[in-house]
Amino acid sequence: MLYWLRFQKRLKQINQAIEIFLEAIAQEIQKILTKSRLKIWEVLSS
């Protein structure tokens, strides 16, 4: 039983780590998309 509780706790930690990681990736993608949009806009408006 104790082993199972420890296992669940570990799973929760892993899930949190994955969420933080995905959040970081999403923010990077957002930055890249924003930059790309600005470049496209500059090209179109010039």
- The predicted pLDDT at position 41 comes to 87
Query: What average pLDDT does the segment 6-32 reach?
Result: 97
pLDDT confidence band for 1 (50 / 70 / 90) = confident
* 3-state SS string for 8-20: HHHHHHHHHHHHH
Query: What does the alpha-carbon distance between residue 26 and residue 8 come to, in Å, rounded to a whole number?
Result: 27
Sign of the four-CA dihedral 32, 34, 37, 39: negative
Query: What average pLDDT does the segment 34-39 reach?
Result: 91
Considering only residues 42 and 14, tell me which one the structure prediction assigns the higher pLDDT: 14
0.75 surpassed by pTM: no
Sign of the four-CA dihedral 20, 23, 29, 32: negative
